């Protein structure tokens, strides 16, 4: 299955986390432990694509792939937010979780995500409608 995540409505490049300001906010898909395909927080749109292997087991459907996180039965894909320092180092401060149990199993799934939360910050926690819209191709 190809999972295509389309992000829109970015929160901006600057954000204040408690007392620590972030001035170079980026978001990307997490692959294993690292962010990948980073996009600046003031972009118009972004598209991340990842292949996910769908495995049928006696206990139900399972998912595998480099961007798949979590234990069997509760697999997910992260969008990870961080501040990119002058040296290029990414310091993660927040993540949004796309639960694969919410995603229809199809050859190509499109997840459209509103990346700004209700308070104007980078969206985090479990993605749910209306911030998440799912469709198949």
User: How many structural domains comprise the chain?
Assistant: 1
Angle at 3 (CA atoms; ends 76, 47), nearest 5 degrees: 105
Q: Output the tens digit of pLDDT for each of the chain's 137 residues.
A: 999 999 999 999 999 877 778 999 999 999 999 999 999 999 999 999 999 999 998 878 999 999 999 999 899 999 999 999 999 999 999 999 999 999 999 999 999 999 999 999 999 999 999 999 999 99
pLDDT of residue 16: 85
From residue 99, alpha-carbon distances to 38, 42, 70, 123, 127 in Å are 21, 25, 10, 15, 8
Residue with tokens 């199809």: 106
pLDDT of residue 23: 93
pLDDT of residue 42: 98
pLDDT of residue 36: 98
Residue 4 contacts residue 49 (beta carbons within 8 Å): yes
* 96 strand-pairing partners: 79, 125
Domain with 12 in it: 2-136
**Gyration radius of the chain's alpha carbons:** 15
Helix ranges restricted to H, the chain:
none
pLDDT of residue 121: 94
């Amino acid at each position: 299955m190809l999972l295509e995540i389309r992000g829109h409505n970015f929160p901006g490049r600057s954000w204040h986390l408690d007392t620590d300001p972030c001035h170079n906010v980026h978001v990307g898909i997490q692959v294993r432990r690292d962010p990948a395909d980073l996009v600046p927080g003031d972009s118009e749109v972004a598209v991340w694509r990842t292949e996910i292997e769908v495995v049928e087991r006696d206990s139900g459907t399972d998912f595998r792939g480099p961007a798949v996180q979590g234990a069997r039965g509760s697999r997910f894909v992260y969008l990870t937010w961080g501040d990119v320092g002058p040296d290029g180092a990414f310091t993660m401060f927040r993540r949004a979780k796309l639960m694969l149990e919410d995603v229809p199993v199809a050859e190509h799934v499109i997840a459209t995500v509103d990346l700004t939360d209700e308070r104007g910050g980078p969206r985090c926690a479990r993605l749910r409608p209306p911030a998440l819209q799912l469709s198949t191709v």
